[in-house]
Structure 1
Amino acid sequence: MGDFCFSIDEERYDDRHGHVLSLDGWYSHPDRKTYGFELLGDGYDTVELPEIQRRERPDVAQALGCEFGDFLPGFTVQIPEVLKLAEKYQSLELFLRDGEERVSIWEISADELDELIKENLVEYHLDRVEILYDTMLEIQGWVVDQRGSVEVTVHQEDASLLDCRISRGRRPDVVERRNLDEEYKTQEIGFRISAALPEIKGGEIILHFCGDSVTKTYTIDIEELRKQNKPKGFLSRLFGKESVAEGGYEAWLARHKVDKRTLRRQKHSAFAQKPLISIVIPLYCTPLPYLKELLESVRRQSYENWQLCLADGSPDDKAKEFIEKHYGREKRIVYRKLEENGGISVNTNEAVALAAGEYLMLCDHDDTLEPDALYEIVKAINDTGADVLYTDEDKVSMDGRHYFDPNFKPDFNLFRLRENNYICHIFVVKKSLTDETGLLRSEFDGAQDFDFILRCCEKAQKITHIPKVLYHWRCHMDSTAADPSSKAYAYEAGRKAVREHYQRLGIDAKVEMTERPGWYRSHVKVQGNPLISVIIPNKDHTDDLELCLFSMTRKSTYRNYEILIVENNSEKEETFEYYRKLPDRYPKARVLTWEKEFNYSAINNFAAKEAKGEYLLFLNNDVEILTPDWMEEMLQNCQQENVAAVGAKLYYPDDTIQHAGVVLGLGGIAGHIMCRASKEDPGYFGRMISVQEISAVTAACMMVKKSDFDAVGGLDETFQVAFNDIDLCMKFRAAGKKIIFTPYAELYHYESKSRGLEDTPEKQFRFDKEVKRFQEKWAQQLEMGDPYYSPNLSVTEGDCSLRED
C-alpha cells in the first residue's frame, strides 16, 4: 500500500454509559483513499460498529509534511459493550477495509482487554506537588473510579504507611472540565496530602489510589522535588536573604503579631464608635477541625462586639451537632441549617439575613483571623469613617503549621482591582451600603466575592486599607489559594464581573482573561481620534533620535499625532543637517529651538505651549518603540475620568526592567521599582504586569492630559534635571488626579545617554539642591509613605523584599 501509515493514539473506556471502548487515531494513504472500518471477533465474526466519527488532524499534516485537503484523517471508533465481547471472543481486531483490500490497525486479546478496562476504571491527576520551606510536603489532586469511590493512601519506600494528613473535598471544576456525571459534583474526588518532611524515610514515597476493582500507584522522588522547589522570581527576593538573616516570613510574622499584653489593653479600648461587626460565613461540608480553628479565632478577638452568622448548606448535621455541643452557650454565634444547598452566593446571603451588625465582614468557612483583626478594623472605622475596609492576608498550610505567601496590598487601587481581585480578605462593608449594591449574585459563583467587592467599591464614599496581616487563607483543594488552575470556571465568572463593572460605569471596554489564572486585561475603547503631541528634547545624539523616530513612525498603529523635537544647544553640524532633512523623512515632525541653558522642565513647558494636541506625550530621544499599539494603550487609560498621566514599561537593551513605576520614598526620595529584574518577571503579586494606579511615572515616556498639565502649571522649573517628572505627578495627585502605569506600552530605554552623569561638582551641587527642594516641598507625603506600596516592604532594596525591622 505504498506510504500508507496509521496510528491509534488513545484507548478510553467508559464503564457507565454502555461499557464503551473508544479508539482515537488517524490514517493516511498517498491517494487520500477513504476506508471503511471493520471489527472482527476471533478473526471471523463481524462486530457491528456505530457510525465512525471523522475529523481533521492538522498535527498529523504538519508531522507528515503534507496537505490533506478535504480528506479527514482523524477518527474515533466506539466499540459498545466490550465486557460482553471480552466474554464472547478471545481476541478483537480492527481493520481498515476497501473492497477486498484490508489492513489491520489494532488488535487485543481478551486478557489484554480486561487489563485495559481495569486501567481505565481509575483515573487520577496531581495538580500540585510542592515542598514548602524545606519542612512540609503538599500534594493536591483528584481521583475518580467509574465503579465507586477511591481510597488514597501514602506509603514509604519500605511499604509502610506514611504518617501524614489526607483530606478529601469536592472538585466541581474537574467534573465540568472532563464532562463527568453530575453525581461526581457532590463526591469528594479531590484530595489534599500534607506531610512533614522529617517523617519521610528514604528518597521516595508512593501514592496508592485504591478503587473498588483496581489500585494504581504513583511514585514521587522527594530528592528531585527538593531541587525543583527552590524559590524563584519574587519568592526568592521575598524569602532569600531574610531566610538566612532573620528566618524569613514566618519569623517576620511572629515578630509582628500582637502580644498578649496589647490584646488585654485592646479589650478595654474606649472607641467613640463600637459598631457590631457581623461575620457572615456559608458552611458546606466544612471539616470540623477547620471549623473549630475558625470559631476559636473569632472568639479570641480582642474587640468583643461581634456576631458570627453561619448558614449551613451541608447534606448532613455534623457542623450543627458540633456547634450545639461546643458553642451552644455562645450567644454571639447564630447558626441556621438550610433546607437545601443553594450554592455559595445563596448560602452567604442566607448568612447575611442573620446579621444584625452595622458592618458585614466576609469570611471563608475554614480560614482563621488574627486576634486583633476586629480591633484594627474598628479602630480604622473610628479614624477614617470608612464604609469599606480591607486588610492584608497570607496563606496557611492545611495543617496550620506554616504561613507563607503574604499579600501586602496597596491602598485602594481601582485600576489594579480591574486586573485581579487583589482585595480578597478581609473585606468589610457597611451594611447600609449593601442596600444600594445588593448582595452576592449566583450567576457569578466562583467569583461572587470579586463581583460583590467591585459593586461595593463603586458606591463607597471612603475605602480604607489596613496594612496588617490579619487573615490566614487556608491552602487546600477547595480554595484558589493553593492552585489557581483548579477553578477555571471561576475565572470566567471574574471576567464577567469586570465587564459588568465597566458597563455600570458607562465605560466601553472589552475584558479578556490572560495566561495568568484569575488575571484580566481590559481594552477600553479610545474615544474619538484626539491629536497627541509627542515632545522630544534633543541635543545632538541624532543616532538615538533617528532610532526613536524610525521605530515610532514604522510601528505605531495610532496615526493622529505630531512630533515636536526641541533642539537645545546642539554643537554638531551634522545635527542641524539632520534637522533640515526631517520634514521629508518624517512629515509629522517639526523642530522647535530652545536657546537658553539646559533645563528639562523649562524645555518641555516651552514645547507644551507650542503643542496643538489634546494630549502631551513626553518622550526621551533615547527610546525605541516595541509595541505597535503603545499610544492606544496609554490613551485608553489617560482618557478615563480623573486620570492625568500614564507611564509605560521601559526596558534596558538587555531586556531587564528600567521602569515599571516609581515608588515614593524608595531610596530616600523616589525610585524605580524592580529595576534590573527580568523582562518576564511578573513582580510582587503581578505588579510588573498589571495596569494600576501609582504614585509617579518617568517622563522618559509619559502621556498627560494637556488640560491637567496646564491646570497645575506644568513642570516646576526649579527642578532643572532631577525629580521634575516625579514632582509633576505629585502635583497631579495633590489636585485629586490619578497616575496610571500600563505594562502594555513597552519601549527600550537607552538611559540618559544624552544628558550624561552627575560627574562634576556643579552638577552634584545642583542635584543635591533639587533633592532638598523635593524633600521640603513634599515632606508630608514622604513621611506618610507611598499609598500604592506596602509599608511592610523594603524602601532600600527596590525588589519588594520584606522591610527590615
Structure 2
Amino acid sequence: MKSKAEENWFIHNGRHLIRMFRLFKPSSISRIIEYIKKNKFTDIKEEIYLIMYEESDSLTVRYPDWFERHKVTKEQLEEQRKEKFSYNPKVSILVPTYNTPVKFLREMIDSVKNQSYANWELCIADGSDTNNEARKVLEEYVNNDSRIVVRYLDDNYGISGNTNKALELATGELIGLLDHDDFVEPDLLYEVVKEFQDEDVDVVYTDEDKVLAPKWKHVDPNFKPDFSIDLLRSHNYITHFFTVKKTIIDKVGNFRSECDGSQDYDLIFRCTEQAKSIKHIPKILYHWRMTEGSTAANPQSKMYCYEAGKKAIEDHLKRVGVEANVEIMDLWGMYHTTYKIQGNPKISIIIPNMDHTDDLNRCIRSIEEKSTYRNFEFIIVENNSVQKETFEYYKTIEKEFDNIKVIKWDKEFNYSAINNYGVKNCDGEVLLLLNNDTELITPTALEEMLGIALRKDVGCVGAKLLYADNTVQHAGVVVGFGGYAGHVFNGFGDDNLGYMARLQINCNYSAVTAACLMTRRDVYDLVGGLDEQFVVACNDVDYCLKTRANGLNVVYNAFSKWYHYESKSRGSDEEGAKKLRFEQEKEKFRSKWPDILRDGDPLYNINFPFTEGAFKVERE
C-alpha cells in the first residue's frame, strides 16, 4: 500500500512547496534572524514551518490560538452525549492502514473512541507487514471495543482496493473517510449526524486544518464554502471529513483503482453527482497530519497524483454530459477546466457611455484587436453626453467597425434601466455587461467566460479585473460586508494566491461585478434583467442573487483578465448626494435580501466575520 503522503501528494506537498516561497520574503528572513538571536537553533524547524503555514495574509492572529478558543468544550460534549436524535444512524468510518507509526495509530483510533456520538464502527483494512507493531496495537483495540473491526489483508490491493476491503466490513447507514495517521475532534460525528437529520441530505463535509511536526501545532485552516462545483473542478477542496449515505455508495460504486492517488476526489465527484442535498459544516473537525516525509517529496515523482486528479475531473464531466478540457496547472494540485463552446453564439457587449471616448475607444479596440473569439457585437448606450467630440467619435467608430451600434438613452441616468435598454436593442444570445473603462488583457478572455456561461447550471460569469498597477480590483463578491457586499482580494497582486489559492482558480461566489459580467439572454429574461429600483449600486449583486434563487451558479473566472480603471466614468460615490443615494440603495437591497444577510453568504464561511475584512478571522 502506498503511504498517505504519496496518495495525496498534490494536496499535501503542493501547498507546502508553494508556501516555501514565503521564506524568501524580507519579513520572513528578518523573523528567522530574530528567532536565532533569541533562541539560537532550538526548534528552528518549527519556527520555519509556522512561517510557511501561517495564513499571515488572511488571518489576523496565529491560527493555533484561534483554534484553542473555538474548539468544543467539555461541557458541550457532555450535553451532546445526552442528546437523542430522532435519526440515529450508525457511522462506518473506513481506514486503510499500512505500517502506521504506533503513536499516530493510537491517536487516530482514540479520537474515534472519544466521540460524543456513540453509534459508530471503525472499519480498518490493514496491509501492514505481519510482524509490524501496528498489528499488535490493532488487536489490542479490537479486543477491547466491539465497534472496532479489522481485516488483515494477505496482499496489497492498492489504496482503492484496500479501502474497498474496509468498505466490505461496513454495516452502517453512513460512510466516513479517515486517513490512518490523522485524527478528529470529539464532536465530529455529533455534528455530522445532526446534519443528516434532514432526510434529503446525502453528503456532509467539514472544515479541516493540518497539524505540523515536530510539535504538532494546528496550522493552515481550510475554512470551506458550501458546495461549490467550480471550485471542486479546480481542486479537491472537500477532502476531509467526508461522509456519505451508504445507499449512494451502493449506487455509484466503490473506490476505483484507476484513480489511485486521488481516489477520494473521484469518489466525491461520483457521490455529489447523485446527492439530493450536500451539507457543509463550517467547523474545524478534522486534523490532517503533516510529517517530514510528506513535505519532502519530489514533485516530479508524484505526477501520477496530478494525472489521477485530472482523470477524476474528466470522468466526472463525461458522466454529467459536459464537454470540457482539463489542464494541470503549475500550481500543484490545481486544475484549469475550460468548456467547449457549442456552435458560434453571438455575444452582445453592452457598454453604457457618457463622454470619456478615450476610455471607450481603448475598451473597444482591446477586444477587436486581441480577442480570439470573434462573433460579437458592441451596443454602445449613449446616455447624456455633452461633448461634441463624443458624437463625432460615435460616427467614426461605427464606420470603422460594422459590428458596433450606438443607441441613445435620453432619460435620466439609471444604470439598470440603461443596460436593460441595451439588451432590448441587441440580438446576441449571450450578453456581456461591460464598463467603458475596462480593457481586455488575455486574448482568450471571452472564450473563457463564454464556455462557462453556456452551461445550463450557470447564471452569470465574472472575470478577474485589475487596476492599472496590476493589483486586483475584482475577483468575486461576498454578500454581507458593510451590510451589503464587498469584493474579495481587493488590492492583492495579480500573482498572489489568495486564501486557499482562490484568486488563481475558477470557483463560485454569490455575486460578481457587472463591470464585466456575462450571462445568457434566456437567464436575463428569466429573472427580469437588472432591477431598476437600483439606479447606481446593488444592481449587479441583486442580479446574481436572482439567478442563484433560480438554482443557477455564479462563477468567478480567474483566467479571463481585464484592466478596470474603476470610477473614471462617473467618479466616486463616497461624498454628498452620491453617498446618500448609495446608502438608500443599500437599504433597498437589505429589504429585498434579508435571509443571506442574516444567515451569512453560503459561498464564504461564517468563521470569517465581516468586521475583519475578507478571509480574516476575528481578533483575540
- Normalising by structure 2, report the TM-score: 0.91
1:350-499 matches, cutoff 5 A: 350-383=165-198, 385-399=200-214, 401-476=216-291, 479=294, 487-499=302-314
SS at match of 2:325: strand
* Equivalent in the alignment of 1:556: 371
Residue 647, structure 1, aligned to residue 444, structure 2? no
Change in 2 beyond 3 A, CA 1:331/1:230: closer
Cα distance, 1:302 vs structure 2: 0.1
Query: Which of 66, 69, 85 is 1:255 aligned to?
Result: 69
Residue 618, structure 1, aligned to residue 467, structure 2? no
* Equivalent in the alignment of 1:270: 84
* Alpha-carbon distance in 1 for matches of 2:258, 2:568: 55
Query: Which of 52, 56, 60 is 1:236 aligned to?
Result: 56
* Equivalent in the alignment of 1:751: 566
Cα distance, 1:319 vs structure 2: 2.2
Change in 2 beyond 3 A, CA 1:603/1:307: same
* Alpha-carbon distance in 2 for matches of 1:407, 1:771: 31
Cα distance, 1:544 vs structure 2: 0.4
Residue 736, structure 1, aligned to residue 551, structure 2? yes
Contact conserved, 1:485 with 1:517, CA < 8 A, in 2?
no
Cα shift readout 1:303-344 (whole Å, capped 9, x = no counterpart): 000000011011224322212235412000001101111111
SS at match of 1:688: coil
Cα distance, 1:667 vs structure 2: 2.9
Cα shift readout 1:33-85 (whole Å, capped 9, x = no counterpart): xxxxxxxxxxxxxxxxxxxxxxxxxxxxxxxxxxxxxxxxxxxxxxxxxxxxx
Residue 657, structure 1, aligned to residue 472, structure 2? yes
1:72-83 matches, cutoff 5 A: none
* Alpha-carbon distance in 2 for matches of 1:760, 1:497: 52
Cα distance, 1:201 vs structure 2: 7.9
Cα distance, 1:204 vs structure 2: 9.5
Amino acid at match of 1:274: N
Cα distance, 1:418 vs structure 2: 0.6
* Equivalent in the alignment of 1:801: 616
Percent identical residues: 48
Change in 2 beyond 3 A, CA 1:760/1:396: closer
* Alpha-carbon distance in 1 for matches of 2:469, 2:200: 48
Contact conserved, 2:459 with 2:554, CA < 8 A, in 1?
yes
Change in 2 beyond 3 A, CA 1:320/1:773: same
Query: Which of 318, 335, 344 is 2:159 aligned to?
Result: 344
Query: Which of 377, 389, 392 is 1:577 aligned to?
Result: 392
Change in 2 beyond 3 A, CA 1:356/1:233: closer
Cα distance, 1:530 vs structure 2: 0.5
* Equivalent in the alignment of 1:316: 130
Change in 2 beyond 3 A, CA 1:359/1:492: same
Structure number with greater Rg is 1
SS at match of 1:382: coil
Amino acid at match of 1:252: W
Query: Which of 334, 342, 354 is 1:519 aligned to?
Result: 334
* Alpha-carbon distance in 2 for matches of 1:510, 1:764: 45
Amino acid at match of 2:154: E
Amino acid at match of 1:682: L
* Alpha-carbon distance in 1 for matches of 2:51, 2:301: 22
Amino acid at match of 1:659: H
Change in 2 beyond 3 A, CA 1:128/1:532: closer
Give unmatched runs, 5+ long, in structure 1.
Answer: 1-126, 135-196, 206-221, 243-247
SS at match of 1:522: strand
Number of residue pairs the alignment of both structures matches: 592
Please give the root-mean-square deviation of Cα atoms over the aligned residues, in Å: 2.5
* Alpha-carbon distance in 2 for matches of 1:671, 1:731: 18
Contact conserved, 1:659 with 1:675, CA < 8 A, in 2?
yes
Query: Which of 64, 72, 94 is 1:280 aligned to?
Result: 94
Contact conserved, 1:622 with 1:749, CA < 8 A, in 2?
yes
Amino acid at match of 2:194: K
From the two aligned structures, give the one with the greater helix fraction.
Answer: 2
Contact conserved, 1:283 with 1:314, CA < 8 A, in 2?
yes
* Alpha-carbon distance in 2 for matches of 1:800, 1:570: 41
Contact conserved, 1:657 with 1:677, CA < 8 A, in 2?
yes
SS at match of 2:535: coil
* Equivalent in the alignment of 1:565: 380
* Alpha-carbon distance in 1 for matches of 2:194, 2:297: 32
Amino acid at match of 2:468: P
Contact conserved, 2:465 with 2:473, CA < 8 A, in 1?
yes
Residue 699, structure 1, aligned to residue 514, structure 2? yes
Cα distance, 1:646 vs structure 2: 0.4
* Equivalent in the alignment of 2:445: 630
* Alpha-carbon distance in 2 for matches of 1:233, 1:570: 53
Contact conserved, 1:237 with 1:799, CA < 8 A, in 2?
no
Cα shift readout 1:577-630 (whole Å, capped 9, x = no counterpart): 111111222221110000000000000001111110001100000001001111
Residue 300, structure 1, aligned to residue 120, structure 2? no
* Alpha-carbon distance in 2 for matches of 1:755, 1:433: 54
Change in 2 beyond 3 A, CA 1:423/1:524: same
Contact conserved, 1:475 with 1:481, CA < 8 A, in 2?
no
Residue 590, structure 1, aligned to residue 405, structure 2? yes
Higher RCO by CA contacts (8 Å cutoff, separation 6 or greater): 2
Give unmatched runs, 5+ long, in structure 2.
Answer: 1-15, 24-34
Contact conserved, 1:484 with 1:518, CA < 8 A, in 2?
no
* Equivalent in the alignment of 1:290: 104
Cα distance, 1:489 vs structure 2: 1.8
* Equivalent in the alignment of 2:594: 779
Contact conserved, 1:473 with 1:481, CA < 8 A, in 2?
no
Amino acid at match of 2:64: E
Contact conserved, 1:794 with 1:801, CA < 8 A, in 2?
yes
* Alpha-carbon distance in 2 for matches of 1:265, 1:720: 51
* Equivalent in the alignment of 1:509: 324
* Alpha-carbon distance in 2 for matches of 1:251, 1:618: 45
Contact conserved, 1:475 with 1:482, CA < 8 A, in 2?
no
Change in 2 beyond 3 A, CA 1:728/1:482: farther
Amino acid at match of 1:305: N
From the two aligned structures, give the one with the greater strand fraction.
Answer: 1
Cα distance, 1:230 vs structure 2: 8.2
Change in 2 beyond 3 A, CA 1:780/1:368: same
* Equivalent in the alignment of 2:150: 335
* Equivalent in the alignment of 1:766: 581
Cα shift readout 1:707-745 (whole Å, capped 9, x = no counterpart): 111111111101000011111111111111111110111
Contact conserved, 1:488 with 1:517, CA < 8 A, in 2?
no
Change in 2 beyond 3 A, CA 1:697/1:759: closer
Contact conserved, 1:474 with 1:481, CA < 8 A, in 2?
no
Change in 2 beyond 3 A, CA 1:476/1:634: same
Change in 2 beyond 3 A, CA 1:670/1:784: same
